[in-house]
Chain A
Amino acid sequence: MRSLKNHISLIIPLFAILFTVEFYLLIDKIIKNYEKYLSKDYSIVVVAKEPLKLENLRQKIEDVIKLKEVDSSLVLGRLKQTGIDLDPDQLKSYLPRFYKLYLSSFPSTQRLQSLKEELLQIEGIQRVETFTKTHEKIYKFLIFLNNISKFFLAIILVTGLMLVFKQIEIWNLEHSERMYIMALFGAPFWMRIAVLLKLSIIDTLISTLLVYLIYLYLLNSNYLKELLGVEDLVAPRQIASDGLWLFGLGLFISIFTVIVVSLREPKNR
């Protein structure tokens, strides 16, 4: 029973550290994936007197990647329905040209605003209309989460490390007699701390698995997908590699602590 409590005392802070690190990494990944998704979810319509060329535009605004002319016959067709009878070909030459413009990444509201101004500077452009859709709010919320997760990461890292350190000190004390006797028979350092290393490796493995499973569950749950309105937030492959990475980080923390705590032992060994 006592040993179970001992394990939990190490598993909890390790879990907290790894959970927060993964939270941070995951939000980052979700944001990147989300940006890709959102990049198809805005529109910029440019009205110009003269034909526009992508190359010319790109000289002034680098992140434009595509320019698509909106067929004006659609507009004319609608005019016709209202009963106004005009010669379409003649009219076409009077009408301005409509273009849809695509950017390399999802623009923020500020970026859209500045883009609008830059576009209007260009000769021949008469009007610019921009629309972003509702997803912008969620996007902003993700960015917000990303920022506070940095803050939590810092706090949890500090308190978590302190708790890990404390727990390993307790273990060290519990096993100090055994380690002392081993030293009396000339056991090398690594052999004396082997028992502590074994315990901490087991607990790191448990913490990593817990974190991994919880995130796997969250990412597959419908709740998150519905909230963000996106299928496949993060590819499972991506968290699998995170799992390994987290295990490595956990091992580093616990092994490093074991070594530091054990080296601080009294000098008579």
Chain B
Amino acid sequence: MAKKVIVAKDLVLSYKKNVPIIKNSTFSITSGSFVFITGASGSGKSTLLRSFYGELRPRSGSLHVGGILLNDIKPSKLSFLRKYLGIIFQDYKLIKEWNVKKNVMLPLLIAGYSKDVCEAQTKRLLKHVRLEGKEEYYPVELSGGEQQRVAMARALAHNPVIILADEPTGNLDDYSSRVIWGLLEGANEQLGSTVVVVTHSIPKDLNVPYRHLHIENGVVYEIS
């Protein structure tokens, strides 16, 4: 049986004490799988994803990611865990003071790779996301689709074990969307990364098998 990389038991998530966003949900995600999380707007999809990278701690129940219990995780251990994650945020979260190249390089710098490796890997990734020639641009000088592709390159730079993407094609042009789905599939197929994607609609022409979790009234259901 494949290893489980994310395991939630009776998970409750909330921002305010008595207002649960995710209620008593139990589910798991196996290593190497491609998972979609769907749900209406405001149903708690981003909230759930946030809990996976330790920004929101479980109110009750338990949550393990990569075998590490996140309930009371220490900052140093969380930093350690995050080095194995590649996160794509709904609002991109690019560092505006840094150019495209340095933004993509961030996880590599954190991992402590040599300058040569950082340069080579960054160059390769920017080619993948079709942003060659824009290395020196700053985020404000890019379109939404381009920014999202930079965020994509950054999330993949260090070959993460788990990729967490929050509506990565939210309101992007077709071209950017195709590039992003292609990269997520590639990371899953070729590198064996576990991919968890929050989306409001599952693309029809996906080439990899996937699972589907759905949030309804705060409860996470395993549809397939």
A contact residues vs B (CB 8 Å cutoff):
177-178, 181-188, 191, 267-269
Contact B82 A186 (CB under 8 A): yes
CB A237 to nearest CB in B, in angstroms, measures: 41
Which residues from A are CB-within-8-Å of B97?
178
Stretch at the interface among B2-10, B73-81, B121-129, B191-199: B73-81
State A268–B70 Cα separation when bound (angstroms).
12
Which residues from A are CB-within-8-Å of B109?
191
Contact B93 A269 (CB under 8 A): no
* Inter-chain pairs besides A185-B106, A269-B78, 20 sampled, C-beta below 8 Å: A177-B96, A178-B96, A178-B98, A181-B94, A181-B95, A183-B79, A183-B82, A184-B55, A184-B82, A184-B87, A185-B82, A185-B83, A185-B110, A186-B78, A186-B80, A186-B82, A186-B110, A187-B110, A188-B110, A269-B75
Interface size in chain B (residues, C-beta < 8 A): 23
State A182–B96 Cα separation when bound (angstroms).
12
Contact B95 A268 (CB under 8 A): no
Q: A178 touches which one: B75, B78, B95 (CB < 8 A)?
A: B95
CB A198 to nearest CB in B, in angstroms, measures: 13
Which residues from A are CB-within-8-Å of B83?
185-186
**In this complex, which of A186, A191, A267 has the most chain B Cβ atoms within 10 angstroms of its Cβ?**
A186
Which residues from A are CB-within-8-Å of B93?
181, 184
Report the nearest A residue to B89, measured CB to CB. Answer: A184
State A185–B109 Cα separation when bound (angstroms).
10
State A177–B96 Cα separation when bound (angstroms).
9
State A185–B82 Cα separation when bound (angstroms).
5
Which residues from B are CB-within-8-Å of A186?
78-83, 85, 107, 110
Which residues from A are CB-within-8-Å of B85?
186
State A58–B53 Cα separation when bound (angstroms).
81
